[in-house]
Amino acid sequence: MFLSMKRNIKTYLVLFFYIVFIIASMIGVIPFDSKNHNQGFTSDELTLQEVNNDSLTTYTYVNTSNVITEAIDKGYAIKELIKNENNQVIKETYYDANHQPVKLYNSYYGLSYEYKEHQNIMHYLDSEGNIMALSTGCATVISNLDENGRNVLEEYYDLNMQPVKCYGYYGIAREYDSAGYCTSMTYVNQNHKPTNCSQEYATKIYKRDSEGTIVGEFYYDAHGNPAKSSLGEYGQLYVRDDQFRVIQITYVDQEGNPCKNQSNYSILKKTYYKDGTICTEMYYDANEKPVSLKKGQYGIKRYNDCTLYLDVNGNIQISIDNMLNGYPVLVIVCGCIISILLLILPYNMRIALSVLYVFFILYETLMFRESGDARYNLVLFSYADTFFQSRTIRVEVINNVWLFIPFGIGMYRIYQRKSIFASAFIFSILIETTQYITGLGVAEFNDVFENTLGGIIGIFIASIIMKQIKK
């Protein structure tokens, strides 16, 4: 009897922690920090007040009632500048209307500057004013200046002032014309030699209009030959609105003529929210006729840190992907329902459901994925610093785990062997390897870990429950 009670307690504890895991997963995907990007005032709608106090200059946005108000296109309400005796800014920090530190571009809270002969040094700062590293690992940017004070070589360093690689390169070399406009950017390695960035080209040459505005760019390899980017084009031409935001991108070949990129469209049209963040992107051919991509979407809408697919008229599609992307809690709910079915269905039906679920996993991870700029990420737990701050990352991690929980349950219910603990790992490795080879999605160690964890959780839960049922 004692042993029976001990086994029961063990089972109840497992089920308790599983329920806690379900609740924690649901809480993790809830958009507590959802933001209406059309709500608020832009800097043009507010008054900027300037107050000078010795070395400190404070810029404050206020509304018509003289109330401190955040400029949604700037991301802050107050900016403070500290200057040295030469009137050079040595520190700038950003605050909300209550004078609390604000993270700009979801990256840093402020910047500090050092000035040397032919060299400017910039550090990223955290909320306490200490030097911090961005998600890329970069903490310090050193700008090497020519005799005209122009930034001709930009280099990146980590917190230990060691060169750090960001998006495939260690720095950027720039060239300028007689008017002072930057004509080209070349990505360089530690030896200041041209190297490919993550978009698979080494040099970007700008095309400007008569007013100096960038209206296009063309790509070249390390030897100066025309290069095709990871998207499949040799360059891009831009159309801008009255706020100089790019509202249309035309992908072009070596001669500057419209061409199809790897995703099979030639023109990308964008709209923006009031605060300047991208709202929608729609796809067109060279004749500006709507084009659909692999999942039948004619465009996307960015909403609450998720991506929703649009139909030919720019309306949100009714689809499984939109339900899962827009309401990630459904991934957890569906995972629970499928898990229960796999536990209670007869043998033949659970095999059929498991096979269907494997195809669903392949559908979500491979079959209709779009080509991306990056091919792989081999850094395990690369999201560790931002997991609790970024809902987007939490949703991705939690979804990856839950995607494989029913898989693990299905494998155990079919085979009921300890050896199947490796099945989730092997299946995930095969998926990520395929992603790397085909360029569909990004091959990540993180995905392998999360998928494997989900599979193990499913197998463990199924084994405990089935053993208890048999007893």
pTM to 2 decimal places? 0.78
Please report which confidence band the pLDDT of residue 323 belongs to, taking 50, 70 and 90 as the band edges.
confident
Give the model's pLDDT for residue 104. Answer: 92
- pLDDT digits over 410-460, tens only? 999 888 776 677 888 888 989 888 887 876 666 788 888 999 999 999 998
Give the model's pLDDT for residue 387. Answer: 75
**Residue 467 scores a pLDDT above 80:** no
Please report which confidence band the pLDDT of residue 321 belongs to, taking 50, 70 and 90 as the band edges.
confident
How many angstroms separate the Cα of 121 from the Cα of each of 89, 114, 124, 141, 413?
A: 12, 5, 10, 6, 60
Q: Which of 13-27, 129-143, 289-303 has the lowest mean pLDDT?
A: 13-27
Give the model's pLDDT for residue 470. Answer: 66
Give the model's pLDDT for residue 388. Answer: 74
Give the model's pLDDT for residue 418. Answer: 61
In total, the chain counts a number of residues equal to 471
Cβ(462)–Cβ(409) below 8 Å: yes
- pLDDT digits over 68-82, tens only? 999 999 999 999 999
- pLDDT digits over 6-24, tens only? 666 766 777 788 888 889 8
Residue 468 exposed, middle or buried by CB count within 10 Å (0-12, 13-18, 19+): middle
Torsion of CA 225, 231, 235, 238, to 10 degrees: -170
* CA angle (33, 37, 39) in 5-degree steps: 100
Is residue 235 within a helix (H) or strand (E), and if so which, with residue range? strand 235-240
Please report which confidence band the pLDDT of residue 373 belongs to, taking 50, 70 and 90 as the band edges.
very low
Contacts of 269 (CB under 8 A, 6+ apart): 247, 248, 281, 282, 284
